[in-house]
Amino acid sequence: MLRVDQAGEIGADAIYRGQMAVLGSNKDVGPAIQHMWDQEKLHLDVMNRLVGENRIRPSALTPFWTAAGFALGAGSALLGKEAAMACTEAVEDVINEHYNDQIRELIQIEGNKEIEKLQNVIREFRDDELGHMHTAVEYDSKKAPLYDPLTAIVRQGCRVAIWVASRV
């Protein structure tokens, strides 16, 4: 679970880095992307710490998650701010589902203080991700060119990444 979440935070950090590379100077959306990226940096720091404390092997695909995330972030931003926000909306939608699944799984484990702490971390991160999704909608994600196919592709890509990260 922690390895998958760490891989996801590596990807998220890279997505926002890619979006900032293209849209960082945009006075409209740049500050919002920076804010979301700052939260993802914190998430990544926490996941890195938890992986280390629990002596969990990081994903063997870390270089891939980094490159793919940056390409997704920069690529969507090159299509315009609306497409970048559509990408963010789609990613955060899947991550919300993923974190909710993990919370339901962890609730089944009773009486373990470490598990309760992890539940709280995942809840906090999930709430941040929901905030990112709402921010994306506020910044016109739904006005992106080819919104439906773009978000469907990004959502499916995220689901595949979660599946792969859970196995490699």
Q: What is the 3-state secondary structure (H, E, C) of 16-67?
A: HHHHHHHHCCCCCCHHHHHHHHHHHHHHHHHHHHHHHHCCCCCCCCHHHHHH
Instruction: For 65-108, write each residue's pLDDT tens digit.
Output: 999 999 999 999 999 999 999 999 999 999 999 999 999 999 99
Instruction: For 43-53, write each residue's pLDDT tens digit.
Output: 999 999 999 99
The reported pTM is 0.94
